[in-house]
Structure formats: structure tokens, C-alpha cells
């Protein structure tokens, strides 16, 4: 079992740096799949000017480590990086990075999607968006529960 | 005594981020939530049955029937929305 890189930070991240670091740590990696979540300027029909992310320090890191651990027991993974930003973010800013390394592409693709689906439903982050009408907490979506639950059927 | 934490919309509604609560020896998550709800006011509103919330005990997701012992950290929060 490798030691995943898990970071919660207000600062931005550089995907290219993370990619280079991951390749630099291993000689047996043949595939790296990654996902970056970005702040949209519209949600539920309203323009979003700022997105503020809160989390539960301690539980967040524990939950993310468990998700990566679960992925590692399902696929042949060599390395994984999960970086999630907190604090105030503007539209087009990066929120989250999931990057997974494996010997072959299918394990990397699948594990990356799995980690992201479980992050959406199991990691204690909450989004508050500011629109012209004021601030509101973002509601959890059933579609995210469905995306997570489909992995139980496979 | 357990430490109870509230997050996001629940914390804003209740107006408290964390507090110490004294519970009986055979306490459960459901018992704690009932005690908090019985305080009325913002607690009753925030924890009303038609609102969706989740509970974690010692930073693991928990069920209503799970036991709580002295020294535990219990967090109550809305369904998560990260990513």
C-alpha cells in the first residue's frame, strides 16, 4: 500500500506540478488519470459571484484516506493524490484535484471516477454560494448519491 | 460528557459551533438528538425530522442507533456538498 497525498488547503494547486511529482516517485506507472473540479458562475439558475467552502478538520482527511483505501482494494493502483481547497473561491477557480496512477489506463480511469463519486457524498465539505440575492448553502443532490451507489452494484 | 460540533447551515441556524453535553451512560445518537431537539428554538428547528442532517461519531459516519460514550466527539451536519 502506498501513502496517498491528501491535502486540504486554501491555496490554489498546480496540476502539472502534482503530475510531475507523481511520475517522479515511480518508474512502473503507465497511466495517470485526473479530475479537476472548477467553480461555475451559475447554479440553479442564479449567477454565483463567490463560492465558500467549509469542512470538518480531522474527519475530512480521515474520510478521504478511507475512500482512497477503498479504491486501492478494488483496483491496481500505484499512487493517488487528492487536493481539496477551502475558503472563498471565484468562478473558474479550481476546487478539487483527484489524480490516480496505475500500470494501465482502465484502473486509473475507474479509480479516479470512484474516488470523486465518494468524495461528493462521504467527505465532509459544504459549499455556500453568494448570488445577487445573498448567500445560500448548496443543497446535496440525489444525482450524487446515485453516482456513488452505482459502485455498489459492480 | 461528549463534545458536540455543528457545521455549515446547522451551525448558522443554531448559532453555536461546538458545546459540551452531559448524557446518560447508555446514550445513543438518537437520544442526543432528542435531548437537543427538546431544547426547542433553533435546535428544534435545525434538527426537525423533515430536515436532512447526518451524524458522525469520532469522525466516522454514524447511525441513529449507534451508542455514544463519555469523551466521544459527535458532529451533526447537513448532507455534504464538496467536490
Instruction: Encode chain A (154 residues) as per-residue pLDDT tens digits.
Output: 899 999 999 999 999 999 999 999 999 999 999 999 999 998 888 899 999 999 999 999 999 999 999 999 999 999 999 999 999 999 999 999 999 999 999 999 999 999 999 999 999 999 999 999 899 999 998 899 999 999 987 6
pLDDT recorded at residue A152: 86
Structure confidence by residue, pLDDT tens digits, B15-36: 999 999 999 989 999 999 999 9
Using a CB–CB cutoff of 8 Å, tell me whether A44 touches chain B: no
Tell me what the pLDDT averaged over chain A comes to: 96
B50: pLDDT strictly greater than 80 = no
pLDDT recorded at residue A44: 80
| Total count of residues recorded for chain B | 83
CB A33 within 8 A of CB A109: yes
CB B71 within 8 A of CB A50: no
pLDDT recorded at residue A43: 84
A94: closest chain B residue by CA = B83
pLDDT recorded at residue A109: 98
CB-CB under 8 Å, B8 with A122: no
B56: pLDDT strictly greater than 80 = yes
Distance, in Å, from the CA atom of A126 to the CA atom of A120, rounded to the nearest integer, reads 10
Residues 6+ apart with CB under 8 A from B58: B72, B73
Q: What is the mean pLDDT of residues B40-52?
A: 90
Chain A residue numbers touching B8 (CB-CB < 8 A): 54, 126, 128, 137
pTM metric for this prediction? 0.94
Distance, in Å, from the CA atom of A39 to the CA atom of A139, rounded to the nearest integer, reads 16
Query: Tell me, what's the ipTM?
Result: 0.94
Using a CB–CB cutoff of 8 Å, tell me whether B13 touches chain A: no
pLDDT recorded at residue A45: 81
Using a CB–CB cutoff of 8 Å, tell me whether B55 touches chain A: no
Amino acid at each position: 500500500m502506498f501513502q496517498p497525498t491528501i491535502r486540504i488547503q486554501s491555496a490554489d494547486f498546480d496540476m502539472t506540478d502534482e503530475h510531475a511529482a507523481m511520475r517522479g516517485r515511480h518508474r512502473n506507472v503507465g497511466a495517470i488519470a485526473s479530475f479537476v473540479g472548477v467553480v461555475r458562475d451559475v447554479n440553479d439558475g442564479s449567477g454565483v459571484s463567490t463560492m465558500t467552502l467549509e469542512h470538518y478538520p480531522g474527519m475530512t482527511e480521515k474520510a478521504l484516506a478511507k475512500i482512497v483505501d477503498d479504491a486501492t482494494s478494488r483496483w491496481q493502483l500505484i499512487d493517488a493524490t487528492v487536493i481539496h481547497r477551502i475558503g472563498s473561491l471565484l468562478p473558474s477557480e479550481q476546487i478539487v484535484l483527484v489524480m490516480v496512477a496505475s500500470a494501465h489506463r482502465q484502473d486509473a480511469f475507474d479509480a479516479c471516477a470512484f474516488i470523486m463519486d465518494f468524495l461528493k457524498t462521504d467527505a465532509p465539505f459544504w459549499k455556500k454560494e453568494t448570488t445577487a440575492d445573498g448567500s445560500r448553502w448548496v443543497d446535496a443532490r440525489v444525482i450524487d448519491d446515485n453516482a456513488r451507489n452505482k459502485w455498489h452494484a459492480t | 460528557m461528549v463534545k458536540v460540533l455543528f457545521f455549515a447551515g446547522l451551525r448558522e441556524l443554531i448559532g453555536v459551533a461546538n458545546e459540551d453535553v452531559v448524557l446518560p451512560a447508555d446514550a445513543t445518537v438518537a437520544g442526543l438528538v432528542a435531548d437537543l431537539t427538546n431544547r426547542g428554538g433553533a435546535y428544534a428547528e435545525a434538527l426537525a425530522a423533515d430536515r436532512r442532517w447526518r451524524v458522525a461519531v469520532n469522525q466516522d459516519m454514524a447511525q441513529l442507533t449507534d451508542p455514544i460514550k463519555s469523551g466521544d466527539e459527535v458532529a451533526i451536519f447537513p448532507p455534504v456538498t464538496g467536490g
